[in-house]
Amino acid sequence: MPVDKILVIGSEGQIGTVLSHALRQIHGIAHVVTSDINPPRNSVIGYFEKLNILDGAKLHEIVKKHKITQIYHLAALLSAKGEQNPRQTWDVNMNGLFNVLEVARQEKIDKVFFPSSIAVFGGLSSKINTPQHGILQPQTMYGITKEVGEHLAEYYFNKFGLDVRSIRYPGLISYQSLPGGGTTDYAVDIFHKAVKNEDFSCFLKKDTYLPMMYMPDAIRATIELMQAPVENLSMHYGYNIHAMRFSPEQLLAEIHKYLPEFQVSYQPDYRQDIAASWVESMDDSAARTDWGWQERFDLAAMCKDMISNLQKIKHNGASEYDEKMFL
């Protein structure tokens, strides 16, 4: 039976750190190549290739060298960073994806994963239980690149038969890795401050509702989508998936059950406008029907697990990024 050989691009980020570890557990260390523009945060386990995704020739070389059969393309600039540098965001997010799709087409890659986001919604999109095929009217450069990215993914599937799969992730919460430049990052940072007994200044208003998901659910969703038989998939652009919806004040109330002394103040900045443009919950019935998506963590279960894991990390004096902890 042919063996999968996987390339993770953007492996040193919030998702890549955890996803690469999960993929190594499934496929074996020798079958997962990680790559990023930045050097690895951990002592490298397996193969690592330094790669700027804008260098299409180097990407092609890596794909051929390792005989890659599947690509998880995570490298991107996220919403908050994206508004500070829209041109670079367009460049990295669009031309990076284009390079990946082109090499995948030329080298007949079996499957490509491209993460989309709730940032594709905005403007006239309905806010609650937002439909899979509703209005997409992104208000950020990041969201625009995700919407166009979804169209590009579908184009490559229809035109060239390239099996591209995609999920519209909500804000992701993880203890293993820190987020990088997003609007939902407050929901990770708040835990780190709480566990360190430090005050937290929140950049969103206390009643700003956003859809969120715990990282183990997001990783499982990604792997389940990638393992689903292609004939079960009704679309090759971003699947809505939903797990929980909460505001900063609801999150704080849950954290207070474990750490009642924890103090939060609210100083909304430009990220408030980004959050206000996004939806609060999504209709994910297509994902449930097509590949059996089902969340496992709600707000209470996520908070309990986050706090317990961060307390263990604090107690052991280990870095959040020390992958050996999770082996």
> Shortest Cβ distance from residue 257 to ligand AKB (Å)?
25
d(CA 137, CA 151): 14
Q: Hey, which residues between 138 and 167 contact ligand NAD (CB under 6 A)?
A: none
d(CA 321, CA 178): 8
> Shortest Cβ distance from residue 171 to ligand AKB (Å)?
5
The CA angle 103-112-93, to the nearest 5 degrees, is 70
Residue 223 makes contact with ligand NAD by CB under 6 A: no
Report the partner that residue 16 touches, choosing among ligand NAD, ligand AKB, none (CB closer than 5 to 8 A by kind): ligand NAD
> Shortest Cβ distance from residue 172 to ligand NAD (Å)?
4
- Decide if 216 contacts 296 (C-beta within 8 A): yes
Helices (H), the chain: 14-27, 56-65, 79-84, 86-90, 96-106, 141-160, 186-195, 215-227, 248-256, 270-277, 285-291, 299-316
Q: Give 91: exposed, middle or buried? Use CB within 10 Å, 0-12, 13-18, 19+.
A: middle
Residue 179 makes contact with ligand NAD by CB under 6 A: yes
Helix (H, G, I), strand (E, B) or coil at 231: helix
9, 18, 71, 78: residue in contact with ligand AKB (rule CB under 6 A):
78
Residues 6+ apart with CB under 8 A from 185: 80, 171, 179
Residue 54 makes contact with ligand NAD by CB under 6 A: yes
> Shortest Cβ distance from residue 14 to ligand AKB (Å)?
8
Report the partner that residue 204 touches, choosing among ligand AKB, ligand NAD, none (CB closer than 5 to 8 A by kind): none
Residue 182 makes contact with ligand AKB by CB under 6 A: yes
Considering only 28-36, 47-55, 114-122, 128-136, which stretch makes contact with ligand AKB by CB under 6 A?
114-122
> Shortest Cβ distance from residue 271 to ligand AKB (Å)?
8
Residue 246 makes contact with ligand NAD by CB under 6 A: no
Q: Hey, which residues between 8 and 37 contact ligand AKB (CB under 6 A)?
A: none
Distance of CA 128 to the CA centre of its chain: 21
Interface residues with ligand AKB (CB under 6 A)?
78-79, 117-119, 142, 171, 182-184
